[in-house]
Structure 1
Amino acid sequence: MDLKDKSVVITGGASGIGAALARQAASAGARVCIADLNGDQAQAVAEEIGGVAATCDVTREGDIIAAIKLAEAAHGPVDVFVSNAGLGKGDPDHAASAPDADWMLNWNVHVMAHVWAARALLPAMIARGSGYFVNVASAAGLLNQIGDAAYSATKHAAVSFAESLKIAHGEQGIGVSVVCPQYVATPLLGLGDGDAAGNLLTASDVAKSVWDGVRDGKFVILPHPDVATYSALRGANPDRWIKGMQMLRAKAMAEQGGISVSSFYKLV
């Protein structure tokens, strides 16, 4: 898909990967709506790129609908919806130790926000035979994030929902891409572009991979190509894969004194 003159909505678009996606989309000629929980920061990015901004809590279906309506009023029917908002809290103790509130927050942000966007947009997209969903998941949705069971489980669900969208509506002109990066130097890890090195990508690196993948109509977009190899190994021999992950967890415990998602990237 060519982004020129397309109406694009990006959740979590005020910082990190979302802001990088917005800047690159605008540079390609798209009309962008930034939807973010931080309304002031969303407005700042929107002013920078000549777009519009919506204060949006993606755990509320009504907020997503309101952001879509704002984008439609400003830019016409939504051509591309990027469900990018995300979070990570980590396991307080054992794999089931996070409170229900944290599990439900992960579920609503990583899964239901994608569902609500599709529910709002699919009827019109199907009617006109065009539209595109970019659902940002994670390599954890194909593999696992050690130390954050709620994140891993919901990112797996995000990948599954994107696949359902593609199977059900791909022949109706609806494009779907699911993005599965590993670690990225973003505020989610307390990092910025200057911290990127080796396998730790910048938000701009990931955004370029995303828009390149959308242009080519790729379903699974892997900013870190190694994820394809890991996913194949996991599928070919699950028991061996689990053993390797247990060893990686043990390494984190020995070298870092615990499982900290914000520093785990140093081991990968």
Structure 2
Amino acid sequence: MDIKGHAALVTGGGSGLGAATARRLAAAGARVALLDVNVDGAQALARELGGLAVRCDVADPDSAAAAVVEARAAHGPARVLVNCAGIGVAKRILGRDGPQPLGDFERVVRVNLLGSFNMLRLAASDMSGLEPLEDGERGVVVSTASVAAFEGQVGQAAYAASKGGVASMTLPAARELAQFGIRVMAIAPGLFLTPMMQGLPEEVQASLGASIPFPKRLGKPEEFADLVLTCVANRSLNGEVIRLDGALRLPPR
């Protein structure tokens, strides 16, 4: 799909991978709506890009539905959804204070997995009613998984489970939505220079970057955004989870 002139939704668009993706989509001519629970950060970027910022809790059905309605009113139904909203909480199953609170696990899965599915179902509903483009294509959904889906580390049970769910639902979603001309993809990034990573000491960042086979540095959000645009543009990409990790395989710890 040539994204120029079409509407796009980016969750978690106020920072990190989502912000980089929003910039790339806008530069390619898309009308971009940045959906974020942190609406202040999204508004600043939206002003820069000439886009729209909408407060959205992706895991809340009413909040997400209202955000899609607001974006649709401003830009028309979206042909592209990029799910970047997510949280990461490191906590052992059995810690010093006993078993991990179930609520901690539930919150991560709710935002990362349920939130991604919630946005997918809402965006796909709009996409299914659009006029088909070349090859009958109506829309594209790109979600964010993680290499932790495949090599989750100690303390990452909740995060790995949530991202594993994103990876696992990609193929069945692509198969089901194929009848409407909607493609579904996921990207599994490795260690990227996101705001969470930037909060670590520089020596820790350097050490993590050195653990990547090549290039020996942390991934750049712009590289993630470039792959999103490739997923959108190449109509033969469908139902796949693409690792973006410099050949990194996470150790147990």
> What TM-score do the two structures reach when normalised by structure 2?
0.83
Shift of 1:199: 4.1
Q: CA deviation at 1:28?
A: 0.4
1:213–1:221: 8 Å Cα contact kept in structure 2? no
The secondary structure found in structure 2 opposite 1:142 is helix
Partner of 1:3: 3
Bigger relative contact order (CA 8 A; separation at least 6): 2
Matched, 1:176 2:184: yes
Contact 2:59 2:118 in 1 (8 A): no
Q: Is the 8 A contact 1:145 1:151 kept in 2?
A: no
Which residue type is aligned with residue 187 of structure 1? P
User: What's the % identity of the aligned pairs?
Assistant: 33
Q: Are the aligned partners of 1:82 and 1:134 in contact in 2 as well (CA < 8 Å)?
A: yes
Q: 1:191 to 1:30 in 2, by over 3 A?
A: farther
For the pair 1:162 / 2:170, whether they are aligned, the reply is: yes
Trace 1:31-70 onto structure 2 (pairs within 5 A): 31-70=31-70
Q: Which residue of 2 aligns with 1:91?
A: 91
Residues 1:190 and 2:194 aligned together: no
Aligned positions of 1:94-109 closer than 5 A: 94=94, 97-109=99-111
Length, aligned pairs only: 231
Tell me if 1:30 matches 2:48.
no
Q: Amino acid of the residue matched to residue 245 of structure 2?
A: H
1:61 deviates by 1.4
Q: What is the identity, as a one-letter code, of the residue corresponding to 1:178?
A: A
Deviation at 1:79, TM superposition (A): 0.8
- Is the contact between residue 179 and residue 221 of structure 1 (CA under 8 Å) also seen in structure 2? yes
Q: Distance in 2 between matches of 1:77 and 1:32?
A: 11
In the TM superposition, 1:1-268 aligns within 5 A as: 1-92=1-92, 94=94, 97-128=99-130, 129=132, 130-191=138-199, 197=209, 198-217=216-235, 218=237, 219-226=240-247, 248-249=251-252, 252=253
User: Could you list the runs of 4 or more consecutive aligned residues of structure 1 that deviate by over 6 angstroms after TM superposition?
Assistant: none
Give, as a single letter, the amino acid of the residue that structure 2 aligns with 1:208. D
CA drift of 1:58 comes to 1.7
Moved more, 159-168 or 206-215: 206-215
Letter in 2 for 1:106: V
Question: Which deviates more from structure 2 when the two are superposed, residues 95-104 or residues 163-172?
Answer: 95-104
Corresponding residue SS for 2:244: coil
In the superposition, relative to structure 1, how do residues 160 and 17 fare at CA in structure 2: closer, same or farther (>3 Å)? same
Where structure 2 has 5 or more consecutive residues not aligned to the other structure, the ranges are 133-137, 210-215
TM-score w.r.t. structure 1 length? 0.79
| 1:65 CA drift (Å) | 1.0
Structure 1 spans left out of the alignment, 5+ residues? 231-244, 253-268
Distance in 2, Cα, partners of 1:191 & 1:17: 15
1:225 CA drift (Å)? 4.9
Q: Deviations over 1:104-135 (max 9, x none)?
A: 11111111112212322333322335111111
The match for 2:212 is none
Paired with 1:212 and 1:59, the residues of 2 have a C-alpha distance of: 27
SS of equivalent residue, structure 1 residue 200: coil
Which structure has the highest helix share of the two?
1
1:136-186 Cα shifts (integer Å, max 9, x gaps): 111112332332100001111111122221111124300111010111011
Q: Distance in 2 between matches of 1:140 and 1:215?
A: 27
- Aligned mates of 1:50, 1:119 — CA distance in 2: 27
